[in-house]
Amino acid sequence: MTWLVAFIFCIGLVSAGTGLNHRVHNDRVIGGHDARPNVWKWQVSLQLDSYNDGSFYHICGGSLVDPYHIMTAAHCILSSDARQYRAVLGEYNLDRYEGSEQFRLVERIVVHPKWNEDLAKGNDIAVLRLTEPVYDNGYVSIADLPYPGQTLPNNFECFITGWGLIDFFGSVPAILQEAPIAVVEHSVCSQPDWWGSLALETMVCAGGDGVISGCQGDSGGP
């Protein structure tokens, strides 16, 4: 199966109302803008409670692949203790409780067995099983994944979304960001002046225009 470089798409709980800590451990949609509400229904805010005190904060994105499972990046897994994570679906503004959110704790984490923190070798993928399923409340739906072996054509327009940094000064948005980003064929993105050997044939490249990109906090998401 072809795994996507940024997983792009073509196309213990904190009480309600409690503000989230926006400390970010990892990749903004730079060059993006506020997403339209209720469009990216499979978008997940993966959150971590690093001190086990109920203070969850956004660290990465993710995508809902079935009612029980979230797909994200392996490098987003900062702790092997599943109890320190929660997934928030139906989220739009991290600073507000809007009634559309579904909060789920994580039961189990499965990281790709060949992941070794070397991005150049790929396999940067993890699947999280939730303690209970999410449901379609009008704000949440399962991602429409590409089929195995599907190749997206050069310049095919996709979208990158997330709550990652929105500039190189460390600004963090509360509202979900989105930006169009074009697929770059492997023969181009594997050139030395692009990503070189980092671009494996099992990946799909996108972007590279120096204007729009993902950044810290967007990792693992659509």
118 is catalytic: no
49 is catalytic: no
Q: How far apart are the first and last CA of the chain?
A: 17
- Whose tokens are 């990046």? That residue is 73
124 is catalytic: yes
Which of 75, 190, 213, 218 is flagged as catalytic? 75
Q: What are phi and psi of 33, to 5 degrees?
A: -155, 170
Number of H helices, E strands in the chain: 1, 10
Burial grade of 82 (CB within 10 A; 0-12, 13-18, 19 or more):
middle
Which of 124, 190, 213, 218 is flagged as catalytic? 124
Local structure of 54: helix, strand or coil: coil
Distance CA 27, CA 64 (A): 19
Distance CA 220, CA 125 (A): 8
Beta-carbon count within 10 A of 182 CB:
16
Residue 158 near residue 107 (C-beta atoms within 8 A) = no
Instruction: Calculate the alpha carbon distances from 87 to 59, 84, 160, 206, 216 in Å.
Output: 11, 11, 19, 26, 18
Which of 45, 190, 213, 219 is flagged as catalytic? 219
Active site residues: 75, 124, 219
